[in-house]
Amino acid sequence: MQRIGVFICHCGTNIAATVDVKAVAEALSHEPGVVFSTDYQYMCSESGQTLMREAIREHKLTGVVVCSCSPRMHEATFRKAAEKEGLNPYMVEIANIREQVSWIHKDMAEATEKAVILGRAAIAKVHLNKPLKAGESPVTKRALVIGGGIAGIQTALDIAEAGFEVDIVEKQPTIGGKMAQIDKTFPTLDCAACILTPKMVDVAQNEKIKIFSYSEVESVKGFVGNFKVEIRKKARYVDEDKCTGCGLCTEKCPQKKVPNEFNMGFDTRRAVYIPFAQAVPKVATIDANNCTMMKTGKCGLCAKLCTAGAIDYKQQDQIVEREYGAIVAATGFNPLKPDKFNELGYSTCQDVVTSLELERLMNAAGPTAGTLLRPSDKTHPHTIVFVQCVGSRCDVENERGKSYCSKICCMYTAKHAMLIREKYPDTDVYVFYIDVRTPGKNFDEFYRRAVEQYGVHYIKGQVGKVVEENGTLKVQASDLLSGEQLHIDADLVVLATAVEPDKSARSIATMLTASMDTNDFFTEAHAKLRPVESPTAGIFLSGVCQGPKDIPETVSQASAAAAKVIGLLAKDKLTCNPCVANSNEMLCNGCSSCEKVCPYGAITYSDKEFRGPNRTTLIRRVATVNEAVCQGCGACTVACPSGAMDLKGFSNRQIMAEVDAICKM
Amino acid sequence: MQEMMKNRAYALLENGTVDRVLGWTRGEFAYDMTPAVFRNADEVKNGFVYNDFCAANLSKYLVKECRAGGKILVFLKPCDTYSFNQLLAEHRIKRDMIYVVGIECFGKADVEKIKEMGIEGITGITAKDGIYTVSTIYGDKAIKPADVMAERCLACKSKKHVVYDELIGNEGEVVEDCNRFDMVAKLEAMTPDERYEFWRGELSRCIRCNACRNICPACTCEQCIFDNPNSGVSQKAAVNSFEENMFHIIRAFHVAGRCTDCGECSRVCPQNIPLHLLNRKFIKDVNTFYGDYQAGEDPTAKPPLGKYEKNDIEPGEAGGAKE
Amino acid sequence: MQDVKEFRPTIVAFCCNWCSYAGADLAGSSRLVYPADVKIIRVPCSCRVNPLFILRAFQRGADGVIMAGCHPGDCHYTSGNYFARRRMTLLFSMLDYLGIERERTRVEWISAAEGAKFAKTMNEFVATVTALGENKRLEDLRCKK
């Protein structure tokens, strides 16, 4: 039997004016197990807490009920005070007689009666309370960043800056991501490479950062503070440590006809290649699908040429196991391939390009050395039509595109239009839009400059059809404002295609037990208040993998994620919430019902030996809760039919005791 | 049929594929077929029986048999294979310890219905050319199967096995237009008062013998909460109407999304309470609210209570009351 | 003559810690009145509410049970209320099927900012249950008041 002390707070007159506190103290003193019951003006005050502590000592209390304000206000205060007196803090329960009684009821008799009932419910619960101890788990002081685009780069740099080790896993041969392919950036029009590549170099030179390029995450085990990750280093057939990046092999390789993905296939590269001049790490990679040596065993020219002896045709994929305290997903995006939009002619007309393709066609390091030429006949286009929202803001039912707004297209289209008008004033530029969305610092000003200063023709309406006739793109469109049908003879059509999460994100989310929305964007722990954390503890989100964003937003979120990671890695030990689920192995059926509703992947199963009838042993599959990962929601406890799964601090018995106390009048 | 099954049992025991056979044997009465384990060919020869009184779903017995080790041969009717898959999905049985022989089924006879026809002294049943011959100590009686078929078989949902290693007889089809929800719909169409009266009339007969729970292939808990004094809700005999309701509501809820609608609960109820109508209500609701779901059809499918959609129906919109 | 006492229902409200319990606190600090018949039990999440608790409440003499949680999509634990919603949908439909008055059970999504909605919901629910009268269909005579 518990020895329970009950303390009724007047809260000045906040409670005492409506609740007869003396009567409540008197009524509750007769409850079973109650050995001390009193009232006091301000329980939360220093003297109120002293009163409670003295009573704990004097009456050898094993449980405490405070009838006062909401537990959301002072539960922690009273629990700390009890702890100082050697009482387990989880032996303290609060009956909320202010927010739930005195502040909302007028009649004193009625309010007093309700206060007594709430007090009884708390006493009934305390009878079943058990001392709980918050567990601790150590923290591995190293972070993993999945994805080496601008998001991953910024996150890694910030974490390293704070003095922690960071690994970047990038599936491409170089870090840099999409930003490396972009020509200029809005709204300042500075060159993307000029601001990105110094950061790439910083990453390469930072001693705290290790880059796993041309690598993928193979498996993730463990939990916050203690992740074990297997990384697959794909064979690049070049020894990274020996290669000096001189590029001789990439110039002499006889296989010249491989489409260059960095330039969106507008030119070619060799079978051994470095994606672009500023690649990090600057190491060659042999593309085994196109290498003559790898395919037929006859060539080996690069190996002969390489003075460093870095070429290794026999290299194998390598699995590296590393430990981390935190993981950041920065898996980024890809532009949607507009091949379901047949009417826009992307698959049939060479001169219908996507915006990212246009970036390469305008870039000084691109296939045309920065001169804007049509892909088909390498002539200068004089009339250019931009089509916005290709694959964005679509009906979900028609399955051609995405329901969401890709957020960046309005701005980059304005940028393209402006740059073209600036460089080639003889060009007519049309932009077809649904809405022009420009929220952001200096964004609307930027767009207005495109219209007012650069004379870009913005037309509210949609393009219905693009067909090629004798080298001209016949564009049919409607102007929604004038209601007219337009026919434009264009030389180039640019599609502002939607962004979509990288295909690899889904499998990574599964490995991380991080949740995703229906569009395959990672879900944040709280849409407003925890936007850079995944609901899974220790997993953080950086960049477009969480939702469409532009570069400044991506960088802010990347730094925010880094701050969260640093906060985690700065701790030596993590204190866990002790109100977590636990499974009674004797009752567990091993049926996996609980695992299916756990949002954190906190439940695992193992075969354990039990004593069976007649001195036999029995192997049974039973659930175990990882207390460091469990957040204590209790979903599993209801999914469990046998009652094996229960929640500490909110057990079935405790809640039913409260129900009984409330209902029995 | 029985001979074919016995021959397969001999052969599989003989060549060491299996160590034991789970089948049926004669109980106290000739129509009282009960599950049994046969350890060798002799036991099969002497004890194994299969006829249209063999209604029991053998899949639940595999939970215990899997723990005893060795490999077990089990004969499963189409509806039993759904229970088998569900147990597999819940890790209650081990696939590699079991050899499943699917057996063709045209429905099982309900001996109570035969008795109601005034037939007594039953000694056996045989089926040929779509006619039952019930042998009695007073001679043989020919009956149309439809007249004496168990309720659950008249509303059969599937004659197709969802899992088997080999098959005896022909494979059937899923019954697309089965009428198993008719009675649920009829109850739903009543007023709440009528429904209350109906269920009071039924559930008040409950004697808490636990037969429904003990036979249910979804009720395989190590210890039932109603038997566990630490659960805070244990009951022995139901002492009043609340506990009668409580037990059946919670039992139905615990098997919601897991019940394959095998109908064993109603078959074994000594008080003839139509317990399957509780389970079918949940199945019907799941189908209506969350899309068609047949427990046991696909052991890798996520159960309806283990998943959600963001735009699921709200509890307030889901009322079945028609007033 | 027997005293005809005005019927006052017993209402149990299960409130999730993060949204609805905080909503009740806001109703309190905003001094929004609702009947004293409502007694709140704090649970971490609506997905902690076991059908057993609801039946237990009716058994012990509750006349109405309401469960309140975060709005769908806003669950502190991301998915708890989605699971709770399915469970309660099925349970309430079953109670209705057994002829137990549909109006005695209710689910409401109330955020921490919706003190007014909390008070309004409770006022409505108490009025509904009061009109229904005492719970007789799911009571345990041994637990009679």
Strands A165-169, A142-146: pairing kind: parallel
* Cα distances (angstroms) measured from residue C36 to each of A101, A104, A112, B66: 7, 8, 10, 56
Q: Taking CB atoms and an 8 Å limit, are A656 and B233 in contact across chains?
A: yes
Question: What does the alpha-carbon distance between residue B40 and residue B33 come to, in Å, rounded to a whole number?
Answer: 20
Q: For the structural domain made of A581-648, what CATH number should be given?
A: 3.30.70.3270
pLDDT above 90 for A525: no
pLDDT above 50 for B63: yes
Q: Taking CB atoms and an 8 Å limit, are C98 and B245 in contact across chains?
A: yes
Tokens of A361: 């066609």
Choose between A396 and C87: higher pLDDT: C87
Give residue for tokens 């960049």. Answer: A543
Phi, psi of C2 (to 5 degrees): -85, 150
Per-residue pLDDT reduced to its tens digit, A554-566: 999 999 999 999 9
Q: Looking at beta carbons, which residues of chain A come within 8 Å of B217?
A: none
The average pLDDT across C55-83 equals 90
CA distance A128 to chain B (A): 12
How far out from the chain centre does Cα B30 lie?
A: 21
Q: What chain C residue is nearest to A534 in terms of C-alpha separation?
A: C78
Confidence bin at B238 (pLDDT 50/70/90): low
Tokens of A41: 């003006």
- How many CB atoms lie under 10 A from the CB of residue B129? 4
Run of H or E including B316: none
Q: What chain B residue is nearest to C68 in terms of C-alpha separation?
A: B315
Contact predicate B156/B107, CB 8 Å: yes
* Cα distances (angstroms) measured from residue A376 to each of A181, A352, A358, B308: 21, 10, 14, 50
Q: Looking at beta carbons, which residues of chain A come within 8 Å of B232?
A: 652-653, 656
Q: Looking at beta carbons, which residues of chain B come within 8 Å of C90?
A: 253, 256, 282, 285-286, 289, 305
Choose between B319 and B180: higher pLDDT: B180
Choose between B178 and A595: higher pLDDT: A595
Q: Of A67-71, A333-337, A386-390, B129-133, which range is least confident?
A: B129-133
HSE of A526, CA atoms in CB hemisphere, 13 A: 10
Q: What chain B residue is nearest to C54 in terms of C-alpha separation?
A: B246
Q: Taking CB atoms and an 8 Å limit, are C48 and A656 in contact across chains?
A: no
Question: What does the alpha-carbon distance between residue A131 and residue A124 come to, in Å, rounded to a whole number?
Answer: 16
Choose between B240 and C129: higher pLDDT: C129
pLDDT at A158: 98
Q: Looking at beta carbons, which residues of chain B come within 8 Å of A644?
A: 222
pLDDT at B320: 47
Class of domain A4-128: alpha beta
Check for a shared fold between A142-174+214-332+504-569 and A333-500: yes
Question: What does the alpha-carbon distance between residue A8 and residue A20 come to, in Å, rounded to a whole number?
Answer: 10
Q: Taking CB atoms and an 8 Å limit, are C97 and B188 in contact across chains?
A: yes
Domain ranges of chain B: 2-108+150-168, 182-317
Handedness of CA B165, B171, B174, B178 (dihedral sign): negative
Q: Looking at beta carbons, which residues of chain B come within 8 Å of C79?
A: 308
Q: Taking CB atoms and an 8 Å limit, are C48 and A647 in contact across chains?
A: yes
- Helix then strand then coil, % of chain B, to nearest 5: 40, 15, 45
Q: Taking CB atoms and an 8 Å limit, are A589 and B220 in contact across chains?
A: yes
pLDDT above 70 for A617: yes
pLDDT at C142: 67
Could you give the percent of chain A with pLDDT greater than 70? 100
**E-assigned strand segments in A44-109:** 63-68, 92-96
The average pLDDT across A235-250 equals 95
Of residues A103, A635, A659, nearest to C80 (C-beta): A635
Tokens of B245: 């309701």
Confidence bin at A137 (pLDDT 50/70/90): confident
Domain ranges of chain A: 4-128, 142-174+214-332+504-569, 333-500, 581-648
How far out from the chain centre does Cα A21 lie?
A: 49
- Tell me whether A246 touches chain B (CB under 8 Å): no
Closest of A142, A162, A144, A122 to residue A5, by C-alpha: A122
Class of domain A142-174+214-332+504-569: alpha beta
Confidence bin at B118 (pLDDT 50/70/90): confident
pLDDT above 60 for B12: yes
Question: What does the alpha-carbon distance between residue A433 and residue A395 come to, in Å, rounded to a whole number?
Answer: 16
Q: DSSP string spanning C86-112?
A: HHHHHHHHHHHHTT--GGGEEEEE--T
Kindly list the partner chains of chain A, i.e. chains with 3 or more CB atom pairs below 8 Å. Answer: B, C
The average pLDDT across A238-266 equals 95
Question: What does the alpha-carbon distance between residue C85 and residue B314 come to, in Å, rounded to a whole number?
Answer: 7
Question: What does the alpha-carbon distance between residue B4 and residue B104 come to, in Å, rounded to a whole number?
Answer: 12
Contact predicate A515/C78, CB 8 Å: yes
Mean pLDDT of chain C: 90
What is the topology classification, in CATH, of domain A333-500?
FAD/NAD(P)-binding domain (3.50.50)
Q: What chain C residue is nearest to B249 in terms of C-alpha separation?
A: C94
* Cα distances (angstroms) measured from residue C57 to each of A662, C36, C65: 9, 17, 7
Cis before B270 (ω within 30): no
Confidence bin at B240 (pLDDT 50/70/90): confident
CA distance A266 to chain B (A): 43
Tokens of A187: 């709204």
Q: Looking at beta carbons, which residues of chain C come within 8 Å of A106?
A: 33
Predicted ipTM?
0.95
Tokens of C72: 């769908």
Confidence bin at C6 (pLDDT 50/70/90): confident
* Cα distances (angstroms) measured from residue A81 to each of A70, A92, A196, C24, C72: 17, 10, 53, 26, 37
Mean pLDDT of chain B: 90
Q: Looking at beta carbons, which residues of chain C come within 8 Å of B195?
A: 96-99
Phi, psi of B3 (to 5 degrees): -65, -40
Domains in chain C, ordered, with CATH? 11-138 (3.40.50)
The average pLDDT across A130-141 equals 91
Mean pLDDT of chain A: 94
Indicate the DSSP class of residue A99: I
Question: What does the alpha-carbon distance between residue A390 and residue A463 come to, in Å, rounded to a whole number?
Answer: 10
Q: Taking CB atoms and an 8 Å limit, are B303 and A596 in contact across chains?
A: yes
- How many CB atoms lie under 10 A from the CB of residue A154? 26
Q: Taking CB atoms and an 8 Å limit, are A634 and C60 in contact across chains?
A: no
C67: left (phi over 0), alpha (psi -120 to 50) or beta: beta
Q: DSSP string spanning C3-72?
A: --PPP---EEEEEETTTHHHHHHHHHHTT----TTEEEEEES-GGG--HHHHHHHHHTT-SEEEEEEPPT
Contact predicate A214/A250, CB 8 Å: no
Q: What chain B residue is nearest to A610 in terms of C-alpha separation?
A: B67
Cis before A578 (ω within 30): no
pLDDT at A524: 86
pLDDT above 50 for B323: no
Q: Looking at beta carbons, which residues of chain B come within 8 Å of A621?
A: 91
Per-residue pLDDT reduced to its tens digit, C112-121: 888 999 999 9
Contact predicate A426/A382, CB 8 Å: yes
Best residue in B199, B228, B249 for a mutation probing chain C (most C CBs within 10 Å): B249
The average pLDDT across A386-404 equals 89
